[in-house]
Structure 1
Amino acid sequence: MGHKFSLVLSREITDEESALLEKAGFNGAVFGKDTLPTDAGVPVTKVDFDDTVTPSLAEAIETALEAVKQVPDLSVPGLNVPAVPKAAAGAEGTDDADVVAGEVVTDAAAAE
């Protein structure tokens, strides 16, 4: 089971920027169009992750947030982590500190 989470970027990104993000750590991420959670009139890019390589969810999120810093004038106003079923939370290789259920960060400063 991978570490699943989504980032909402502060704006729509270009193909060149998505390539830069992939090179910086967004390997296997799925990019899609969305709107800003706090303002449906603002188009943004949503990135869905299913990271099966990084040892912990926290490390996977940190890697993604660091990659965003590689693109000028781009930030992360939203982070969504789906709830982890209780049975999976106690599974081998899952640390309680890695279990985050439905947390949403809407302040870009908090995401850094």
Structure 2
Amino acid sequence: MAHKFTLALSREITDDELTKLRQAGSGEATASTTTLPTNPDVTVGQLDFDVEGESLSGAIDAALAAIKTIPDLGVPGLSVPAQPTGASDGGAVGEESPAAELASGGQR
């Protein structure tokens, strides 16, 4: 099943960093730039994902783990559009994954 989500990054990334992220498990994410909603003068990167996998939380967890491999790169935002009908998170009820923590306002 395909899962779509976007991670807002704490800064712009280089082509080399994007390559490292893909090698670390973020898959074929599409990189682009945007501005912070709270400060349009600050340009940051974002990664758009459209990945196949068992669960949305597993795909997000893999992307977050890949981002941890790049020094001084953080994820201040996560955007998850409505998923197709029948999409399953795949996690146990009450299970706190890194994706669930981020989605609920926790910081990484």
Displacement of 1:32: 0.6
Aligned to 2:68: 69
- Asked if the contact 1:77–1:105 (Cα under 8 Å) also holds between the matched residues in 2, the reply is no
Matching residue's letter, 2:36: L
Q: CA RMSD in A?
A: 2.4
Aligned to 1:10: 10
Displacement of 1:94: 2.5
TM-score by length of structure 1 reads 0.76
Helix, strand or coil at the partner of 1:16: helix
Report % sequence identity.
46
**Where in structure 2 are the equivalents of 1:1-112 lying within 5 Å?**
1-52=1-52, 54-84=53-83, 88=85, 91=86, 94-95=88-89, 105=103, 110-112=106-108
* Residue segments in structure 2 that go unaligned for 5+ positions in a row: 93-101
- Asked if the contact 1:4–1:81 (Cα under 8 Å) also holds between the matched residues in 2, the reply is yes
Query: How many residues align structurally?
Result: 99
Cα distance in structure 1, aligned partners of 2:13 and 2:45: 6
* Residue segments in structure 1 that go unaligned for 5+ positions in a row: 99-103
TM-score by length of structure 2 reads 0.79
Displacement of 1:106: 9.5
Q: Deviations over 1:86-111 (max 9, x none)?
A: xx0xx2x625869xxxxx8596xx24
